[in-house]
C-alpha cells in the first residue's frame, strides 16, 4: 500500500479496513458523547454505505453532504467512499436558497444529506422547499424538480423532523442488513486514482468551481502532513477546524487510518467553545 518514496496507494475504504479489527479509539466526538473505535468506524461505514445503495442511489452518483464536526457527518463521507459514491462537503450555513441552488446544480448532485445549521431548525429543508415546492408532496427518492433536475434524494439528519419526500438518516441505516453489506462494491479492484470527491473552490474572485479529487490525492494529502510533523499512534489531535473543508477532512478525517492517531472533536462548531476543556480531558 506504499512505495519506497512513501507515497500511499489504495483507497479510502481500504485504509479503514486495514485498521478495522482494532479496538483502539479512532475518533471522539466529545459534545455528542460518541466514541468510535476503528472497529466501530468500519461497521458504521459499511452499514450506512449499504443503506445508501438500498434507496436507489447507484455507484458514481454524486452526493452533497452539508454539516459540521459531528459523528455522523464524519461517517457519511467514509460511507459514500465505501459505496463508490462521489461526495462533496459543504457548510450547512448557506447565505440563501440561491447559494444552495448553485451548489446543487453546479455539482449535478443526485442526493443531499442535510445536517442542522446554526441559523434555525430545519434550515436546509426550508431552503429546499423554497427552491422545489415539489419536495413537499413527492415520493421519497423520486423528487422531480424543475429547478434542481438532477436531485432525487433528500436525506435529513434532524431525526425529529420528518417530511414527505425526505428520508431521515436513521431510515437509511435501518435499510441496511448483512446481505446488503456483503454486496457492497469490491473496493479491492479500484484504482487509487479513481475519483472519490468533489471540492468547490472558494469563489472569492469568481464563481465557485468544482475540482475532482481521487483516493490517491486525499490519502497523500494526509500522509504529507503526517510525515512532515511526525504524527504517530501515540499522538492525539484536538480539532478546532471545520471538517466540511476538504483539506481538513483529508487530514483529520483520514489520519486515524494512516497514522493511527486519535482525533478529538470538541463540538460541532468549527471554533468550539469548549476546545480547551476537551484538550484537558483527553491530553
**b vs e for 130-165, b when ≥16 Cβ sit within 10 Å of the residue's Cβ?**
ebbebbeebebbebebeebeebbbbbbbbeeeebeb
Q: Which of 68-72, 131-135, 275-279 has the lowest mean pLDDT?
A: 275-279
Distances (CA, A) of 71 to 27, 36, 59, 128, 189: 9, 9, 24, 24, 29
Confidence at residue 3, expressed as pLDDT on a 0 to 100 scale: 44
Residues 44 and 29: beta-carbon distance below 8 Å? no
Distance between CA 201 and CA 180 in Å, rounded? 36
Give percent above pLDDT 70 in the chain: 96
- What is the arithmetic mean of pLDDT over 121-142? 93
Rounded Cα–Cα distance for residues 161 and 121 (Å) = 9
Radius of gyration of the chain (CA): 18
Q: Where are the domains of the chain?
A: 12-282
Q: pTM for the full model?
A: 0.94
As a whole number of angstroms, the distance between CA 115 and CA 16 comes to: 24
User: Averaged over 208-236, what is the pLDDT?
Assistant: 95
pLDDT score of 4: 46
Q: Which of the following CATH numbers is that of domain 12-282: 1.10.3720.10, 3.30.160.270, 3.20.20.140, 3.40.50.12780?
A: 3.40.50.12780
Higher pLDDT among residues 207 and 33, named by residue: 33
What cell does 55 get? 434507496
% pLDDT > 90, the chain: 84
Q: Which pLDDT belongs to residue 120?
A: 75
> pLDDT band for position 164 (50/70/90)?
confident
Q: CB count, 10 Å around CB of 1? A: 12
Mean pLDDT of 170-193: 97
Asked if pLDDT for residue 163 goes beyond 90, the answer is no
Q: What is the pLDDT of residue 203?
A: 66
> What is the pLDDT confidence band of residue 117, given thresholds at 50, 70 and 90?
confident
Query: Is pLDDT of 274 > 90?
Result: no
Q: Residue 280 — pLDDT band, cuts 50, 70, 90?
A: confident
Could you report the per-residue pLDDT of 16-68, keeping only the tens digit for each? Answer: 999 999 999 999 999 999 999 999 999 999 999 999 999 999 999 999 999 99
* pLDDT over 70 at 206, yes or no: no
Angle, to 10 degrees, between the axis of helix 123-131 and the axis of helix 97-107?
70
Does the CA dihedral 247-85-52-9 come out positive or negative?
negative
For residue 87, how many other CB atoms are within 10 A of its CB? 25
Note the pLDDT of residue 93: 94
Q: pLDDT band at 106, cuts 50/70/90?
A: very high
Amino acid at each position: 500500500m506504499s512505495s519506497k518514496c512513501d507515497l500511499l496507494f489504495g483507497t479510502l475504504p481500504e485504509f479503514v479496513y486495514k485498521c478495522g479489527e482494532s479496538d483502539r479509539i479512532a475518533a471522539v466526538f466529545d459534545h455528542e458523547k460518541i466514541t468510535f473505535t476503528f472497529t466501530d468506524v468500519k461497521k458504521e461505514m459499511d452499514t450506512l454505505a449499504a443503506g445508501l445503495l438500498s434507496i436507489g442511489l447507484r455507484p458514481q452518483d454524486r452526493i452533497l453532504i452539508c454539516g459540521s464536526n459531528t459523528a455522523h457527518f464524519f461517517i457519511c463521507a467514509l460511507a459514500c467512499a465505501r459505496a463508490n459514491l462521489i461526495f462533496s462537503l459543504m457548510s450547512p450555513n448557506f447565505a440563501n436558497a440561491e447559494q444552495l441552488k448553485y451548489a446543487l446544480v453546479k455539482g449535478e448532485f443526485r442526493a443531499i444529506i442535510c445536517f442542522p445549521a446554526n441559523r434555525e431548525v430545519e434550515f436546509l429543508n426550508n431552503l429546499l422547499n423554497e427552491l422545489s415546492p415539489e419536495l413537499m408532496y413527492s415520493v421519497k427518492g423520486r423528487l422531480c424538480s424543475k429547478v434542481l433536475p438532477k436531485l432525487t434524494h433528500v436525506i435529513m439528519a434532524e431525526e425529529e423532523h420528518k417530511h414527505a419526500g425526505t428520508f431521515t438518516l436513521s431510515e437509511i441505516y435501518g435499510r441496511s442488513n448483512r446481505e446488503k453489506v456483503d454486496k457492497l462494491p469490491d473496493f479491492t479492484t479500484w484504482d487509487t486514482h479513481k475519483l472519490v470527491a468533489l471540492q468547490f473552490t472558494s469563489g472569492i474572485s469568481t464563481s465557485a468551481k468544482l475540482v475532482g479529487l481521487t483516493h490517491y490525492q486525499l490519502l497523500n494529502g494526509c500522509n504529507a502532513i503526517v510525515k512532515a510533523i511526525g504524527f504517530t499512534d501515540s499522538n492525539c489531535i484536538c480539532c478546532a477546524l471545520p471538517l466540511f473543508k476538504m483539506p481538513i477532512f483529508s487530514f483529520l478525517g483520514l489520519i486515524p487510518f494512516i497514522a493511527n492517531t486519535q482525533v478529538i472533536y470538541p463540538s460541532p462548531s468549527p471554533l468550539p467553545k469548549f476546545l480547551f476543556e476537551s484538550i484537558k480531558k483527553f491530553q
